[in-house]
Amino acid sequence: MKIRYIKHSTLIIESGGKKIITDPWLVGNFRFFPARPRQVKPEELHDLNLILISHGHGDHLHAESLATLPRQAKVIVPRGLKNKLIRLGFLDTVELSPGEEFSLPTLTIAAVPAKHPGPAVGYMIKDGKTVYFAGDTVLFPGMKEIASRFKIDAAFLPIGGVRMFGFKLGMDPADALRAAEILNPKLLIPIHYATGASVPLLFSMKGSPEELLRKAGPGLKEKIRVLAEGETIEI
């Protein structure tokens, strides 16, 4: 399985002969997230097979970015978001609740619980290896159940620590380290950081890979792999 980190929560995964993108945010901006240059050329995604969307917030279900992707790709979303994708032209959209799976001959996508406002899930991508894409979630007790069900080779966990009006909406580095202790992945790869502009009293996103590494204790620090934008890792 080859995984290319784009930025934020966007990964391009090549697995089981399929090309997958997660939470595609490739163009434009959204609220507190400044405009960004395209990290992927359109021709790289003409053969896209699967689009995985973790939840309905605009920096994850980004209509402008979705408009650049082939409509024949199958989209997998949390239950409750299918009609929104159909309105965007993606007629082959499947809804999954935690515990449900979508399978192809060489690949299985399993939805797992997440805790975030609105319909939200994480995904396990399985092709002999198991990769956990957490999307955007806070630390929550259900991670113990996830750990009991899956032997995780790599966990892509948010670390930005997003807060709105002081309320935490996503994991910060300390939370991600506690999650890694529970999930026990072979690799911990941080995502969802360094893309939001702070607005005093309203919005902040302060977590960083440097903080993650600084706070990691023995046994965890060795598992952390920070990917540069555009870097590819093979699991």
Question: Does residue 235 belong to any structural domain of this protein?
Answer: no
Q: Could you give the CA distance from residue 121 to residue 135 in angstroms, rounded to a whole number?
A: 7
Question: Does residue 42 belong to any structural domain of this protein?
Answer: yes
Task: Give the tens place of pLDDT for each residue, 133-191.
Answer: 998 898 999 999 999 999 999 999 999 866 665 677 678 899 999 999 999 999 999 99
Question: Does residue 202 belong to any structural domain of this protein?
Answer: yes
Sole residue written with tokens 């595609």: 24
**Mean of all residue pLDDT scores within the chain:** 88
- Looking up residue 97, the CATH number of its domain turns out to be 3.60.15.10
Please tell me the predicted confidence (pLDDT) of residue 233: 97
Question: Does residue 18 belong to any structural domain of this protein?
Answer: yes
Number of domains the chain contains? 1
Phi, then psi, of 26 in degrees rounded to 5 = -115, -25
Task: Give the tens place of pLDDT for each residue, 34-63.
Answer: 555 556 877 889 999 999 999 877 777 888
Contact by Cβ (8 Å): 175, 139: yes
204 Cβ contact list (under 8 Å, min separation 6): 161, 162, 163, 196, 198
pTM score, whole prediction: 0.90
* CB atoms closer than 10 angstroms to residue 159: 28
Sole residue written with tokens 């359109």: 42
Please tell me the predicted confidence (pLDDT) of residue 56: 78
Question: Does residue 233 belong to any structural domain of this protein?
Answer: no
Query: Among the residues of 44-168, which ranges form H helices?
Result: 63-66, 82-87, 143-149
Question: Does residue 234 belong to any structural domain of this protein?
Answer: no
Domain that residue 186 falls in: 2-228
Please tell me the predicted confidence (pLDDT) of residue 30: 57
For residue 74, give the nearest of 47, 93, 60, 102 by alpha carbon.
93
Question: Does residue 73 belong to any structural domain of this protein?
Answer: yes
Residues 44-78, buried b or exposed e (16+ Cβ, 10 A)?
ebeebbbbbbbbbbebbbbeebbeebeeebbbbbb
167 Cβ contact list (under 8 Å, min separation 6): none
Please tell me the predicted confidence (pLDDT) of residue 171: 86
Strand bridging mode 18-22 / 187-191: unpaired
Question: Does residue 168 belong to any structural domain of this protein?
Answer: yes
